[in-house]
Amino acid sequence: MNQVLFVKANCRSLDQSVSVKLYHAFLKTYRKANPSDRVIELDLYQEDLPYYNDVMLDGMAKRRTGAELSSSEKEAAGRVMRFLDPFVTADKIVFAFPMWNFTVPAVLHTYIDYVSQPGIAYRYTPGGPVGMLGNKKAALLNARGGVYSSGPAAEQEMAVSWMKHNLELLGIQDIVTVIVEGHDQYPEHRERMIDQGIAAAMKTAAAF
C-alpha cells in the first residue's frame, strides 16, 4: 500500500479552474485504480501557512542541532513539521496548481519553503546539495491560459519549471506532468483543450 499526498494550490472552484478540474480527474481515477492506497488531500488555501520567517528558520536550525528552542521557536518548528512529515512519508505526491504571473501561487511557494529542509529533504556536500527523497514519484498538474511550452513566451515559464527544479533538489527525479495551456489565448479551442487535458490527467493517474 502506497501513501499518496495530493496537494491543491488553487482557491477557485471546480467550474472556475482548469487546474482544479485536472486535480479531481486525477484523484478520482487514481483512487479507482489503487483502492488500497492511502490518499491524503491537502488544500493549501484551507491551511494556516504564514510565510516562512526568521522564527521558523531559527527553530528548524536548532532542531537539527539539538539546541534548546524557545516557546515561539517550538511552535514555529512544529508548524513546519506538520507539513513536512506527510511530505517525507509519502510515496507519491501530486500537485495541482495554476500559473499566476508566470509562476506558482504564493501559497505553493510557501509550502515548498516549508518542506525544503536541509538535513531532512536534502543535505549539503562539497559537491553541492544532494537530495534525500529520491524514492518518491511526483505528478505536476498545471493550467495556464497562454502558450508557454514553445515560442517567445517559453522563457517566461516559471511555474512547472520552478516546481521541477525544487523537487529535483530534494532528489525527486521521477516526475510526470499534465499541462493544459492556451485555452484563454485561443478561446475557440478552449473546451477541446480542457477535455484533452482531463483525458491526459486520467491516463496519467491510471499509470501513476
Annotated binding-site residue? 99: yes
Question: What b-and-e string marks burial along 128-153, b requiring 16 or more CB atoms within 10 Å of the CB?
Answer: eeebbbeebbbbbbbbbbbbbeeeee
Any binding-site annotation on 100?
A: yes
Does 163 show up as a binding residue in the annotation? Answer: no
202 among annotated binding-site residues:
no
* Residue 102 assigned as binding residue: yes
| Ramachandran angles phi, psi of 23, nearest 5° | -60, -50
Q: What are phi and psi of 164, to 5 degrees?
A: -60, -45
The single residue listed with the C-alpha cell 524557545 is 70
The answer to whether the annotation marks 162 as part of a ligand binding site is: no
Does the annotation list 115 as a binding residue?
Answer: no
Contacts of 190 (CB under 8 A, 6+ apart): 183, 184
Q: Binding site membership for FMN: which residues? A: 17-19, 99-102
What are the binding residues? 17-19, 99-102
